[in-house]
């Protein structure tokens, strides 16, 4: 069992399957009015250098539902990680005061530095490189709405960002065929492409990159997109809108996929840019189911890391 959760590759394929199964069981329990207060008296620290709605709400709710408490620390409270004080010093202070730390940061190195000095679990709530909790919620949603990922074609259309990277690792570890489509210089800059390729080979599925969104969408079981302008890239917004012209997920693109193709977006969505209002509001959209599942899968991840039990 991994002590921390920084990226999907930290969990084995079997651990991922176990987490998803027990996340589903906990979901049923809570939706039916039950509870599991296994973390009564335990405290979570949320360190957020980047703003959030879904991530903060889902982690806070998860911890409260497990019986614990939460301390929310934004950038104004503690400064940028590594500037006001060394990350290793902050980490060792937290070791003695809280029981788990959830970090939403810019530099992935901040997370790695924390794990080098932490005696408590560190959870990656997003870095510029990866977004593993989102990916876990995504594959949980696909399991619920489509069935087993094995053999499915999952098409990510957009920027080669942290979501595209983590989603790719998660999909191929579950046996899905994964394709990323985006403009040259954007989609091919995604990190850990080598890891996605390696996991695809080990799990007997395919992974490739294309600059043709129609090729990616053809016969897809799932089409996934995300904002063209991630946090930290705001100064490039106008250029990105121009460069991503032709990569919008609209009804014409969706028509190339399988008839019951599911549409996904990690939100916030900029309707009229990367996705149309018509598509996100269509019966095939499972966007808000995946948003809700952030709560359910993260609750199980927190429980697993803190107790060692599913």
d(CA 112, CA 53): 24
> Are 169 and 299 contained in the same domain?
no
Instruction: Assess whether 82 and 198 both reside in one domain.
Output: no
Q: Has 131 been annotated as catalytic?
A: yes
Same domain, 110 and 232: no
Say if residue 215 is in the same domain as residue 69. no
Are 153 and 33 part of one and the same domain? no
- Residue 301 backbone class (left: φ over 0; alpha: ψ -120 to 50; beta: rest): alpha
In terms of DSSP H, where are the helices of the chain?
13-31, 54-65, 75-78, 87-95, 108-117, 132-145, 162-173, 193-202, 213-217, 237-243, 251-254, 277-280, 287-307
Decide if 31 is inside a domain: yes
Whether residues 114 and 60 fall in one domain: yes
Please indicate whether residue 75 is annotated as part of the active site.
no
Q: Is residue 222 part of a domain?
A: yes
Per-residue pLDDT of the chain (310 residues; tens, 9 = 90+): 569 999 999 999 999 999 999 999 999 999 999 999 999 999 999 999 988 899 999 999 999 999 999 999 988 888 889 999 999 999 999 999 999 999 999 999 999 999 999 999 999 999 999 999 999 999 999 999 999 999 999 999 999 999 999 999 999 999 999 999 999 999 988 888 999 999 999 999 999 999 999 999 999 999 999 999 876 778 888 999 999 999 999 999 999 999 999 999 999 999 999 999 999 999 999 999 999 999 999 999 999 999 999 8
Residue 1, in any domain of the structure: no
CATH of the domain at 97: 3.40.50.1370
Q: What is the 3-state secondary structure (H, E, C) of 130-144?
A: CCHHHHHHHHHHHHH
* Full-model pTM: 0.96
Question: How many separate domains does the chain show?
Answer: 2
pLDDT at 74: 86
User: Catalytic pick from 240, 266, 296, 299?
Assistant: 266
Q: Do 154 and 114 fall into the same domain?
A: no
Instruction: Examine the domain organization and report whether 116 and 255 are in the same domain.
Output: no
Answer yes or no: 226 catalytic. yes
* Same domain membership, residue 267 and residue 147: yes
Same domain assignment for residues 142 and 225: yes
Reading across the β-sheet that carries 177-181, which strands appear in turn? 207-210, 177-181, 153-157, 222-225, 262-265
In the set 4, 240, 265, 294, the catalytic residue is 294
Question: What pLDDT sits at residue 1?
Answer: 56
Residue 303 and residue 278 share a domain: no
Name residue 262's beta-bridge partners.
Answer: 222
On whether both 99 and 234 belong to a single domain, the answer is no
Of 54, 104, 240, 299, catalytic: 104
d(CA 201, CA 223) in angstroms, rounded, equals 22
* pLDDT score for 100: 98
* Active-site residue (options: 65, 134, 248, 298): 134
- pLDDT recorded at residue 192: 87
Domain membership flag for residue 3: no
Domain containing 93 equals 8-131+292-307
Structure-token pair, residue 240: 């990105």
Active-site option among 99, 128, 159, 226: 226
Residue 79 pLDDT: 84
Residue 254 lies in a domain: yes
**Catalytic pick among 4, 42, 131, 299:** 131
């Amino acid at each position: 069992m991994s002590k921390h959760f920084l990226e999907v590759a930290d969990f084995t394929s079997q651990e991922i399957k176990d987490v998803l199964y027990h996340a589903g069981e906990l979901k049923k329990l809570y939706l039916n009015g039950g509870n599991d207060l296994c973390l009564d008296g335990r405290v979570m620290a949320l360190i957020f250098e980047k703003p959030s709605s879904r991530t903060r709400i889902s982690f806070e709710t998860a911890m409260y539902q497990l019986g614990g408490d939460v301390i929310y620390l934004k950038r104004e409270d503690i400064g940028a990680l590594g500037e006001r004080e060394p990350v290793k010093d902050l980490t060792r202070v937290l070791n003695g005061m809280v029981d788990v730390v959830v970090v939403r940061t810019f530099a992935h190195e901040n997370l790695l530095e924390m794990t080098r000095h932490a005696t408590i679990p560190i959870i990656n709530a997003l870095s510029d490189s990866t977004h593993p909790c989102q990916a876990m919620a995504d594959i949980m949603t696909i399991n619920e709405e489509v069935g087993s990922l094995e053999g499915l074609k999952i098409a990510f259309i957009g920027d080669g960002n942290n979501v595209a990277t983590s989603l790719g690792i998660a999909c191929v570890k579950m046996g899905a065929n994964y394709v990323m489509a985006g403009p040259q210089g954007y989609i091919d800059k995604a990190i850990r492409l080598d890891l996605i390729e390696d996991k695809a080979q080990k799990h007997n599925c395919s992974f490739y990159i294309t600059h043709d969104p129609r090729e990616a969408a053809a016969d897809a079981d799932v089409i996934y997109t995300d904002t063209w302008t991630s946090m930290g890239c705001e100064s490039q917004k106008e250029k990105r809108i121009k460069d991503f012209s032709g990569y919008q997920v609209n009804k014409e693109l969706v028509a190339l996929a399988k008839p019951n193709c599911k549409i996904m977006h990690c939100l916030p969505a900029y309707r009229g840019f990367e996705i149309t209002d018509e598509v996100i509001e269509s019966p095939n959209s499972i966007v808000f189911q995946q948003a809700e599942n952030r709560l359910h899968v993260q609750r199980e991840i927190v429980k697993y890391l803190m107790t060692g039990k599913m």
